[in-house]
Amino acid sequence: MASRTNLTRLASALPRRSLSTTTPVSLSSSSPLSKLTGRNALLTTPVAKVPRTASKWGLVNGGRRLASGEASGEGSTMTVRDALNSAMAEEMDRDKTVFVIGEEVARYNGAYKVTKGLLDRFGEDRVIDTPITESGFTGLAVGAALAGLKPVCEFMTWNFAMQAIDQIINSGGKTYYMSGGNVPCPVVFRGPNGAAAGVGAQHSQDFAAWYGSIPGLKVISPWSAADCRGLLKAAIRDPNPVCFLENELLYGVSFPMTQEELGEDFLLPIGKAKVEKEGTDLTIVAHSKMVTHSLEAAEILEKEDGIKVEVINLRSIRPLDIETIMTSVKKTNHLVTCEGGFPAFGVGSEIIAQVCESSAFDYLDAPPERITGADVPTPYAESLEGLAFPDTPLIVKTLKRHLCESLIASRSRIRTRLQICSFALRLNRQAIDPHDGLAHVSLFALFGTFTKTGS
C-alpha cells in the first residue's frame, strides 16, 4: 500500500531559510546505500542548498533567467513563453484553419504575453479577443472544431476554465464517441495551470488529475521549452481535444535548445515520457515544475551521497506512458512520484496503482511513495504558501528517508525469513517414515513439510 508524504508534518523540520549545522553522515562508498543503516542517517543529514548554476535545469548564471535567444555558452536558448508563441505562429503559418481565441489574446498580446505579435501577423480573423465569458468562447471554440477548424482556446488560467468545464468535457471530449467516430473535435485548450505566487486558493489548483480522468481528452503537462514547442505543435495537429496545462512560473525560464528542437517540423509524440536523468537506485516521476525540483534533488543526492536517482519527465498525463515508468522501476526497484496537486486521487495515485497492478510490482523493494501538495486549499500568505507545495529540500529529505526505511525493512524481512527457515528445518529433522501417521502442514519457508501428527 502506497504511503504519502505529509507536508504539514514535515514542514517544520525543513531548513528553508538556513542550512542545518548538524554534521552530515556520509553516504558515499562502494554502495550508495551502504551507510543508510538507520533512521538517524536521515535525521542527522542536512539538506544542502540548491545549486543556482544548474543551467541544464533552466537556471543559469547564478539564477538569472536568460532572455529569448541569449546564448548560455551551450548553444541557443529559448524561454517557455517564446516556445509556446513560436509553436502557435508556425502552426498558423502551416495551416490556415488554425486560429487563436480567448480573453486579451489579441490587442493585449495575452495576459502572459504568450500570444505576443500574433494579431499583427495574422489579423483579427485568426486572433480573436473575447468577453470575459469562458463558457461562451469555449463553446465557440468547440463548435468551430466540430465544423472543421482548429482553434487554440486560451484560458487566462485553468482555474477560470471551471466556468467552461461542461463545454470541455461534455461537448469537446464526448462528441467523437457519441457520433460513432464520425465527428472529430480538434481543439486545444491551453493556459497556466497549478500554483503561481500569492494568488490564493481559488487560483492555485492543479487540474492534471481532474482532466486526466476523462475518456476522450488528451492531457499534456510540459516542462521545458522543447516540451512546449514539440507538444503544442503536436496537440494542434491532433484530431482530438487536448488540454495543455502550462505553468506560469516557468514562462520566463530559458532552456537550451538544439537546432532540431528549433525546427519548424519538430514534434514530440503525445503519450511518451522522457527520462531526463538516468539512475540506478530510485525512480522519481514528475511533471511540469516538479521536474525542476526533482532534477535538483537528484543532483544533490548524487553529488553528496552517491545516490543515483532516475528522473522521469511525464510530459503526458493522458495517455500515460506507464511502460517507461515500469522499465525504470524494474531497474531501480524503488518508485516515488512528485506533483503539485492534491494528494487524494492524484496523478501519483494513478501511477502507483498501475505499477502495482503490473509485472513491475514484483521488482519493488519498498512501497511506492507520493510527494504532493498539502491536502488544504492553497494559503494566500507567502509563509504558508511555501509550505503547501513540494520543493527541492523536501524531495531530497523524502528520498533519503524512503531509502533508509527500505533498507531497515529489508533487513527485518531477512531476519524473519531466517527464523522461519530455522524453525522449518527443526521440524524437518523430526520427519519419519511416511507410513507412520504423518500430518501435512504448510509453512512459508518449506511448503508441504511432513511431520508427526501434533508436532
Do 344 and 375 contact (CB within 8 A), yes or no? yes
> By C-alpha distance, which of 140, 231, 147 is closest to 183?
147
Instruction: Assign a CATH topology to domain 3-49+272-408.
Output: Rossmann fold (3.40.50)
DSSP E strand stretches across 80-186: 98-102, 127-129, 150-154
Q: Which three three-digit cell numbers place residue 261?
A: 528542437
Q: Block means of pLDDT (10 residues each) for the chain, length 455 residues?
A: 36 34 33 35 36 46 36 72 98 98 96 97 97 96 98 96 96 96 97 88 92 98 98 98 97 96 96 97 97 98 95 98 98 97 96 97 95 93 90 96 80 53 46 43 39 43
Is position 104 annotated as part of the catalytic site? no
- For the packed helices 290-305 and 392-429, what is the interaxial angle rounded to 10 degrees? 60
pLDDT at residue number 58: 61
CA 241 to chain centre: 21
**3-class SS of residue 242:** strand
The model's pTM: 0.77
Do 247 and 192 contact (CB within 8 A), yes or no? yes
Distance (Å, rounded) from C-alpha 97 to C-alpha 79? 27
Give the helix/strand (H/E) hosting 230.
helix 225-237
Helix ranges (H only) for 307-375 are 322-332, 347-356
Q: What share of the chain is helix, strand, coil (3-state, %, to 5)?
A: 40, 15, 45
Asked, as a colleague might, if the bond just before 131 is cis with ω within 30 of 0, I would say: no
**Please, what's the b/e burial string for 133-162 (b: 16 or more CB within 10 A of its CB; e: otherwise)?**
ebeebbbbbbbbbbeebbbbbbbbbbbebb
pLDDT at residue number 413: 54
DSSP tally for the chain: helices H, then strands E:
15, 17
Looking at the domain that runs over 77-262, which CATH code has it been given? 3.40.50.970
Q: List the chain domain ranges.
A: 3-49+272-408, 77-262
Q: Which of 91, 103, 154, 203 is catalytic?
A: 203
- For the packed helices 80-94 and 225-237, what is the interaxial angle rounded to 10 degrees? 30
Q: Is residue 18 packed enough to be buried (19+ CB in 10 Å), middle (13-18) or exposed (0-12)?
A: exposed
Distance (Å, rounded) from C-alpha 318 to C-alpha 313? 14
Cβ atoms < 10 Å from Cβ of 168: 26
Is position 203 annotated as part of the catalytic site? yes
Distance (Å, rounded) from C-alpha 418 to C-alpha 447? 15
Q: Is residue 235 packed enough to be buried (19+ CB in 10 Å), middle (13-18) or exposed (0-12)?
A: buried
Q: Per residue in 349-371, pLDDT tens?
A: 999 999 999 999 999 999 999 99
> Residue for cell digits 542550512?
19
Q: Let me know if the fold of 3-49+272-408 is the same as that of 77-262.
A: yes
pLDDT at residue number 409: 64
> By C-alpha distance, which of 298, 310, 348, 378 is closest to 3?
348
Q: Which residues contact 412 (CB under 8 A, 6 or more apart)?
A: none
Cβ atoms < 10 Å from Cβ of 274: 18
Do 187 and 277 contact (CB within 8 A), yes or no? no
Q: Which residues contact 163 (CB under 8 A, 6 or more apart)?
A: 133, 134, 135
